[in-house]
Structure 1
Amino acid sequence: MGFSTIAGAAFRALTARKDGPSLYDVCDPVLLKYRGGDPHLGKFYRTALGNPALRPLLRRTGHPALRDRKRLGALQEALRRARDEAEPDWAAVGQPIAELMADIKVHHPAPKPVAAPARSPGLAEIDRAIRRCGAHLLGSFAKNGFIPTYAAFNLIGDADMGGREMLMALTGLNSRGYKNSTLLFSLARIFIAHSPARALINPPWRGIAEPMWQPMQIRHRSAYYDAFFTEALLSYVETGLASSDEAAASRRAISEMVDFCLKTSAEEVPSHDGTTVNVITALAPLPHPRFSKFFSQIKQDLGFGIYVPDCDTTACSFSAATQAGCTDPILDQPLLDFYRGYQVREGANEPRVTVPLNDNIDYEGGVVTWIDNLAGDRPYGNDLDPTLNLDILEVSFRNLSRWKILETPQRLETVHRILGFQRRLAESGAFKNPRSHIYYLPELYSAYFGRCHAAFMALPEAARQAIDPDGAFALIRERVLAYVEGELIAREMNPFDAALALMALAHLGADVPSFAPALHVIVASLGEGGRHGPYRAYEWNKMKTPTRILVGGPEVTSAFVLMGLALARRAMTK
Structure 2
Amino acid sequence: MARKEIMTARHLAGAVYRALTNRKDGPTLYEVCDPVLLRHRGGDGHLAKFYKTALANPALRPLLRRAGLPELRDPTRFQELQDALRQARDEETPDWAAIGRPVAALLDTVTLHHPRPGATTCSGMEPGLADIERVIRTCGAHLLRSFRNNGFIPTFAAFNLIGDPDLRGRDFLVALTGLDARGYKNSTLLFNLARVFIARSPAREVINPPWRGVAEPMWEPVQIRHRSAYYDAFFTEALLSFAETGLATPAETDAIRRANCEMVDFCLRTSREEVFSRDGSRVGVITALAPNPHPRFNRFFTHIKQNLGFGIYVPDCDTTACSFSAATQAGSNDPILDQPLLDFYAGYQVGGGANEPLVTVPLNDNIDYDGGIVTWIDSLAGDRPYGNDLDPTLNLDVLEVSFRNCSRWRVLQTPQRLQTVQRIIRFQRRLVESGAFTDPRSHIYYLPELYCAYFGRCYAAFSMLPSAARRAIDPDDSFSYMRGRILGYVQDTLISAEMNVFDAALALIALGHLGADRAALWPALNCIVNHAGEGGRRSPFRAYEWNKMKTPTRIVVGGPEVTSAFVLMGLALARKAMQRVV
Shorter-chain TM-score bucket reads: over 0.9
SS in structure 1 of the partner of residue 556 of structure 2: strand
2:12, 2:209 within 8 Å by CA — same for their partners in 1?
A: no
1:27 match: 33
Matches within 5 A, 1:156-555: 156-555=162-561
Could you tell me how far 1:104 is from its partner in structure 2?
A: 1.3
Q: Distance in 2 between matches of 1:35 and 1:429?
A: 51
Q: Distance in 1 between matches of 2:10 and 2:410?
A: 62
1:201, 1:214 within 8 Å by CA — same for their partners in 2?
A: no
1:236-261 deviations in Å (ceiling 9; x for gaps): 01001001101110110000000000
Q: Distance in 2 between matches of 1:13 and 1:41?
A: 27
2:353, 2:370 within 8 Å by CA — same for their partners in 1?
A: no
- Which one of the candidate residues 68, 72, 81 is aligned to 2:78? 72
Q: Distance in 2 between matches of 1:116 and 1:72?
A: 53
Matches within 5 A, 1:6-45: 6-45=12-51
1:154, 1:214 within 8 Å by CA — same for their partners in 2?
A: no
1:111 match: 117
Q: Distance in 2 between matches of 1:305 and 1:532?
A: 32
Could you tell me how far 1:48 is from its partner in structure 2?
A: 0.2
Could you tell me how far 1:347 is from its partner in structure 2?
A: 2.4
Q: Distance in 2 between matches of 1:13 and 1:512?
A: 48
The reply on whether 1:558 has 2:564 as its aligned counterpart is yes
Q: Distance in 2 between matches of 1:510 and 1:149?
A: 31
2:124, 2:526 within 8 Å by CA — same for their partners in 1?
A: no
Could you tell me how far 1:292 is from its partner in structure 2?
A: 2.6
Q: Distance in 2 between matches of 1:390 and 1:189?
A: 32
1:535, 1:554 within 8 Å by CA — same for their partners in 2?
A: yes
TM-score, length-scaled by structure 1: 0.99
Q: Distance in 1 between matches of 2:124 and 2:233?
A: 37
Q: Partner amino acid for 1:80? A: R
SS in structure 2 of the partner of residue 195 of structure 1: coil
1:137, 1:147 within 8 Å by CA — same for their partners in 2?
A: yes
1:171-227 deviations in Å (ceiling 9; x for gaps): 000000000000000000000012211111001100000000151100000000000
1:343, 1:368 within 8 Å by CA — same for their partners in 2?
A: yes
Q: Equivalent pairs: percent with the same residue?
A: 73
1:57 match: 63
Could you tell me how far 1:445 is from its partner in structure 2?
A: 0.3
Q: Distance in 2 between matches of 1:333 and 1:524?
A: 45
The reply on whether 1:130 has 2:147 as its aligned counterpart is no
Could you tell me how far 1:340 is from its partner in structure 2?
A: 0.2
For structure 2, which runs of at least 5 residues remain unmatched after alignment?
1-6
Could you tell me how far 1:5 is from its partner in structure 2?
A: 1.9
1:54-89 deviations in Å (ceiling 9; x for gaps): 001101111001010111000100110011001111
SS in structure 1 of the partner of residue 115 of structure 2: coil
Could you tell me how far 1:284 is from its partner in structure 2?
A: 0.4
Q: Partner amino acid for 1:246? A: E
SS in structure 2 of the partner of residue 479 of structure 1: helix
SS in structure 2 of the partner of residue 491 of structure 1: coil
Q: Distance in 2 between matches of 1:496 and 1:185?
A: 28
1:223, 1:280 within 8 Å by CA — same for their partners in 2?
A: yes
TM-score, length-scaled by structure 2: 0.98
Q: Partner amino acid for 2:397? A: D
Q: Distance in 2 between matches of 1:514 and 1:6?
A: 36
1:491-522 deviations in Å (ceiling 9; x for gaps): 00001000000000010011111100000000
Q: Partner amino acid for 1:309? A: P
SS in structure 2 of the partner of residue 279 of structure 1: strand
- Which one of the candidate residues 96, 110, 116 is aligned to 2:102? 96
Structure 1's consecutive aligned runs of 4 or more residues displaced over 4 angstroms after TM superposition are: none
1:447-488 deviations in Å (ceiling 9; x for gaps): 000000000010000000000000110111011001000000
Q: Distance in 1 between matches of 2:42 and 2:165?
A: 36
For structure 1, which runs of at least 5 residues remain unmatched after alignment?
none
1:133, 1:558 within 8 Å by CA — same for their partners in 2?
A: yes
SS in structure 1 of the partner of residue 157 of structure 2: strand
Could you tell me how far 1:542 is from its partner in structure 2?
A: 0.1
RMSD of the alignment, in Å? Answer: 0.7
Q: Partner amino acid for 2:336? A: I
Q: Distance in 1 between matches of 2:110 and 2:441?
A: 17
Q: Distance in 2 between matches of 1:170 and 1:118?
A: 49
